[in-house]
């Protein structure tokens, strides 16, 4: 079979598939169209429809209908407190034993994870450290700024994180 014949047969195959898909789609659309009984005028008259039962009950205001699932005497007596209020309340209740854990006396062991390093210029996570000035920086753009700092100003950035060098 020649190459042109293969291409032509593929086109015919896909044309048949598209035509078949169009037939299926039109059949689904015809089934989905509402019939005369589904129109709004006839829908209310159906037995068992919620709207028909509502109209036959004579209720005009739903707020006046008793709702058995809702307790009218229920009131949420729970009040949300922030941490400061909880700590003040716990400190006022001094009946706790000395070794009892409380919000104002939570002691945690030191973390096993390494300390996070942040950029001295931007405050973003620092991926790099300048070996000359020991300033941490986030990206190449920040490194260009570090390179243009006047002499001695890097000590101010290092002092902000308590890493400055003081010679005595």
What local confidence, expressed as pLDDT, does residue 128 receive? 95
Please report, rounded to a whole number, the percentage of residues in the chain having pLDDT higher than 70: 59
H helix or E strand, kind and range, residue 141: helix 140-147
d(CA 17, CA 27): 15
Both tokens of residue 114?
């390494």
What local confidence, expressed as pLDDT, does residue 38 receive? 53
Query: What are the residues facing 137 on neighbouring strands?
Result: 128
Q: pLDDT tens for residues 109-126?
A: 788 999 999 999 999 999
Mean pLDDT for 135-149 is 93
Q: pLDDT tens for residues 10-67?
A: 666 666 777 776 777 666 656 655 555 555 555 545 555 666 666 666 666 767 777 7
Both tokens of residue 33?
């169209």
Q: pLDDT tens for residues 72-105?
A: 777 777 788 888 888 788 777 767 676 776 666 6
3-state secondary structure of 66: coil
Q: What is the largest CA-CA distance in the chain?
A: 98
Q: Which residue has the higher pLDDT, 14 or 128?
A: 128
DSSP label at 50?
H
H helix or E strand, kind and range, residue 137: strand 136-137
Nearest to 121 by CA among 99, 100, 104, 144: 144
d(CA 139, CA 122): 10
DSSP label at 59?
-
d(CA 7, CA 12): 9
């Amino acid at each position: 079979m020649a190459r042109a014949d293969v291409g032509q047969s593929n086109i015919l195959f896909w044309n048949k598939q598209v035509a078949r898909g169009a037939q299926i789609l039109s059949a689904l659309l015809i089934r989905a169209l509402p019939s005369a009984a589904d129109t709004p005028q006839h829908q209310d008259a159906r037995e068992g429809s919620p709207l028909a039962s509502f109209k036959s009950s004579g209720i005009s205001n739903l707020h006046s209908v008793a709702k058995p699932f809702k307790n009218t005497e229920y009131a949420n007596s729970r009040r949300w407190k922030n941490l400061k209020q909880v700590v003040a309340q716990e400190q006022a209740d001094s009946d706790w034993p000395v070794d009892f854990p409380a919000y104002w006396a939570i002691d945690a062991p030191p973390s096993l994870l390494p300390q996070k390093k942040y950029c001295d210029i931007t405050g973003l996570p620092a991926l790099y450290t300048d070996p000359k000035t020991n300033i941490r920086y986030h990206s190449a753009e920040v490194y260009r700024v570090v390179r243009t700092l006047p002499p001695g100003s890097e000590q101010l950035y290092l002092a902000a994180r308590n890493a400055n060098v003081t010679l005595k």
